[in-house]
Amino acid sequence: MGYTGVYGKLLIPKLSKKQFLFCIEMAYQIQRSMGLQRGKSDWVDAVRITNYEAKNAKDLKQY
């Protein structure tokens, strides 16, 4: 997931308590890895984050 600041401080403890496996990455890093992109919506962002994770899974560290 992308780093969400204040929202992450609420979400991370709940995900950890339920023993979910997840990774937190800075949004800038995700955007930078894709080059220039047009279009912005929650759905498009979710797809881009999923593609980033799939492409970089071996290098990401679980939280």
pLDDT at 14: 93
Q: What is the pLDDT of residue 35?
A: 74
Q: Whose CA is closest to 22, among 43, 40, 4, 44?
A: 4
pLDDT tens, N- to C-terminus, the chain (63 residues): 778 888 888 999 999 999 998 888 887 788 888 777 777 788 888 888 888 888 888 888 877
Count, residues in the chain? 63
Identify the pLDDT of residue 15: 92
Distance CA 29, CA 53 (A): 12
* Separation between Cα atoms, residue 35 and residue 52, nearest integer Å: 12
DSSP string for 11-44: HHHHHHHTT-----B-HHHHHHHH-S-----HHH
For the chain, which residues make up each domain, given as ranges? 6-59
